[in-house]
Chain A
Amino acid sequence: MSWWQRLLRRRKMEDQLDKELRFHIEQHTSELIALGRDPQEARRQARLALGGPEQVKEKCRDARGTRWLEDLLQDFRYAIRMLGKQPGFAAVALLTLALGSGATTVMFTVVNGVLLKPLPYPEPGRLVAVHGHSDSWNTAVYGEQNVAYPDFLDCQRSSRSLAMAGFVYSGGILGEPGTPEFVDRREITSELFSVLGVPLFRGRAFLPEEDRPGGAPVIILSYSLWQRRFAGDPRTVGLSLILDDKSYTVVGITPPRFQLDGEEGDVFTALGQDTAGYLRNRRAHPVGVVARLRPGATLAQSSAELGLIGRQLAAQYPDSNAGRSFVATPLHPDVEDVRSTLWLLLGAVGLVLLIACVNVASLLLARAVSRDRELAMRVALGASRGRLVRQCLTESAVLGLSGGALGILVAAAGFRPFVQFWPGALPRADEVQLDWRVLLFALTASLVSGLLFGLAPALRAPVRDVEQTLRAGGRTMAGSSRRLHSGFVISEVALAVVLLVAAGMLGRTLLRLSSLNPGVNIRNVLVTRMALSPAALSNPAGIRAAWQDVLDRARRVPGVESIAAVDTFPMRQGENQLGYWNTPAVPPENQQPLALATSVTPDYLNVMGIPLLKGRFFDDHDRRESEPVIVIDEVLAQQAFGTQECVGKRLWIPGMSGPNWSEGNDSLRVVGVVGHVRHWGLARDDQAPVRAQFYYPFAQVPDSALRRWSELMSIAARTNIPPLNVVESLRLELRGATGGATGDQALYQVRTLEQLASNSLARQRFLLLLFGIFAGLALLLACIGIYGVLAYLTGQRVPEFGVRIALGASARDVMRLVLRQSLGMIFVGVGVGIFAALAAGRLLMHTVDGMQSTEPSTFAIMIPILTVAALLASIVPARRASRIDPVRALRQD
């Protein structure tokens, strides 16, 4: 029998024990009777010989080895009975804990899903990402660099340690069947799904012979596109569809929630079939590479091998590959953007939990003091010290666990709304689920907090002098307990100060940022991406004509005032950073200062409401044949020319010169200066590494680059009615009829500039809201705690106040006495809190864009709020103390 069986069959075992001992006594008795004893005497002797039956039983129970568990169960039942007897206390304590542990569990659920879970592929530890490195590439500014397609093929062929696959981002217009729609396309190599270890939901992956120029045109659909457009019809595999005017056969469907590089994508085509020039060029680096370590290979081996391959390629193609190498790093989900925010929130929520624990601890301690008599009685009856400590800890553990269980319920209900509430898209949102880690966390957190708030009452309980306690009747109070209570109040106040100041800082930051001038007039501007009809993309002249046609048509839509095409928008992801220099002696690439390049059509300035400071903006005379011109912003003017006059000067921009860009011209003429635009968003722009901007005419983009540029362009419209009202007519007007009247042009990602500006502050607003909630909770909990502690402390001092009043103290004197005690604790708490808040403020500054250091005014606003709230919480007990009837108070003792 194992111990738990013994425990479950406890009742039966008790019966058997009883029976066994009875048998013994009866046997002994009958034997004694047989020897001639008087039956009554025989029974007496038999019992004497065995000893007290209860003691024997107790020893037998001890021998069973389940004693500790039985005690635990007993304590457990006792704890639940005690809680049931004091429903008020139980409700306050449980509610406090449920709030604290619920909020913490919600945050942990999100942290777990987004930051802690491994990637959702089999054996994620064997997956690596391969990046390109080069001496002239500044990783800190640009981020990791992808790999050129020819380089990828060479690496894939030569590597023995890695099974490699590549993918390239692109898009396309999905035509028939159905209405034309812009889709997110990934061009992938045939090995991708096998490298990731993901089987397709239906159909098959690409074959190696399909991943080559001239291979059969095949396509794989994402699960959600398949559901959305084909209603999950199993006959979709084998169907043909039109993507960018080309017919493809569907060969597979990805499994639900399959993601590549954190995004789902809509369609997958074979990379090897794409004959675009940039895929043949070792200077262009579009291919993202994932790889799986082959059995037995290590990351170090693969890195060494890639280094070797890189050196061979550099020797073979010095023009493009000198100084280039490849590195393998473990594949991680890309969550850098939210990492610090999530940890920050978990920390803040942890503070709330801590306050909740302190609150419950002070409640428990107050109760423990009033239970002194009960505990002393138990000691007098023979309970050991350890037994009492265990009992107290069991009680607090029961509280903690019940709070934790409620917290899990709160989390189960709360994490989905939280994820939806997250500004923008939370990466890996699908992975946020309650799982064993979350349960383990909640369990541990509630047990630890149970120990935390149960330890003080438990440890103080048995140290009391039994005799004195019994005689005093729980009236006197040890100094250590009063100090402990003050300690609780002080730490609660300090924690509340931290959260309040943090919320105050965020509020000020948000106010300051919203009042900043974004540099554009954000009212009544519609921005939308635009995919031209694939038919128009066949030649450069067609592309130029198509754009001209789009702008002309859009201008005719009622409500549209002016219209422009542009490649990158302020306050939205996507930018083009180019190095520049103000003399012909251009330094090497990694020493050039950078500026953001934006290609626009002439009306852009009017549409966006950017002020023209000097010179002129572009007009229709800036054409391909005329001199290449740019317009710079005031930041670039300052950086490149200082205080000198800059209109008419020249800038050397290697990314926009050379044979492809401007024949015969090695530099661009500055024709005007415009105001700075907060491209990186209201919050981030001040700290952005690259702020300088310049604009160049879309008309001067060279023919060779035109097709690629065309894919990037958006249109922006200034309207004289609410911008979203023109969307439908604009969509209809632009859909059709460029060139071949195919009706397959599409608008996508439609936003207003106001939305973009507001989104650029979404992170700050979200944090402010949460910190505001946390701070409010902390303030409330701290007030409840202060009220509880003071009510208890004054209750203990009733006889003392009675004497004082009897000796002539007025009600005001007594009130002042109580409030002074409370103020003392609050001030110490505020003092400690200020130091903690300064440290927390520094942390916030590092994590939140646009945050400035803690200003004294924040403290000046927040601390009075806290002090007043805390004093209000103390007034009720203080008034009660002042109304004590001295006669009754003295008689009580």
Chain B
Amino acid sequence: MTEKSDLPQGTLDLLILKVVALGPVHGYAIAQRLEQVSRGVVQVPQGSLYPALHRLENRDLLASDWEETETGREAKFYRLTRKGRTQLETEAASWQRLIDAVGLVLKLSEGGVK
């Protein structure tokens, strides 16, 4: 098993938004997908997943409907609102900038900047 990392502060919202952007999905599936996609590196604390979902819904970034799953059970499906999509785009962009910047800094040779 690979080493697991804790999620940096504030990234859970971003990840949830990204997963939901792919299509309507219920809470359990979000947890599954996050774990699969990150190849088990990102461990989503399930206890904080639902409060996060409710918070995002409360901020009108997500909307929800009760629909039937393929197994015929009723579940709460989340989807992205227009506001949520904008939020996802800005946050993804700023995240990307941050990674690039951090990457640049880490690539410096140890001799110092010339």
Q: Which A residues contact B (CB, under 8 angstroms)?
A: 16, 19-21, 23-24, 27-28, 49-52, 55-56, 59-60, 62-65
Contacts and interface: CB of A to CB of B under 8 A. Distances in A.
A59 B46 contact: no
A19 B55 CA distance: 18
Contact of B50 (A19, A52, A56): A56
Contacts of A65: 58
Given A27-B28, A63-B58, A21 B47 contact: no
Given A49-B46, A50-B46, A51-B46, A23 B75 contact: yes
Given A56-B51, A59-B51, 6 more contacts: A24-B28, A28-B28, A56-B47, A59-B50, A60-B51, A63-B55
Interface string B14-54: 00000000000011100100000000000001111011101
B47 A55 contact: yes
6 contacts: A23-B27, A23-B73, A23-B76, A24-B28, A51-B46, A65-B58
Contacts of B46: 24, 49-51
A39 B48 CA distance: 25
A60 B54 contact: yes
Contacts, number: 50
Contacts of A20: 27, 50, 75-76
A23 B26 contact: yes
A21 B52 CA distance: 14
Contact of A51 (B27, B47, B74): B47
B63 to A, nearest CB: 10
Q: Give the interface SS of chain B, mostly helix, strand, loop or mixed.
A: helix
Interface of B: 26-28, 31, 45-48, 50-52, 54-55, 58, 66, 73-76
Contacts of B74: 19, 23
Q: Give the interface SS of chain A, mostly helix, strand, loop or mixed.
A: helix
A653 B28 CA distance: 106
B57 to A, nearest CB: 8
B60 to A, nearest CB: 9
B51 A24 contact: no
Instruction: Kindly list the 8 A-B residue pairs having the minimum CB-CB distance in the complex, ordered from nearest.
Output: A51-B47, A59-B51, A63-B55, A63-B54, A27-B28, A60-B54, A63-B51, A24-B28
A20 B55 CA distance: 15
Nearest to B75: A23
A5 to B, nearest CB: 12
A60 B50 contact: yes
B53 to A, nearest CB: 8
A65 B58 CA distance: 8
B47 A24 contact: no
Contacts of B26: 23
A62 B47 CA distance: 14
A112 to B, nearest CB: 42
Nearest to B54: A63
A21 B26 CA distance: 11
Nearest to B56: A63
A50 B47 contact: yes
A64 B76 contact: no
A59 B58 CA distance: 13
B27 A24 contact: yes
B44 to A, nearest CB: 10
A20 B30 CA distance: 13
A19 B73 CA distance: 11
Nearest to B32: A31
Contacts of A19: 74, 76
B73 A21 contact: no
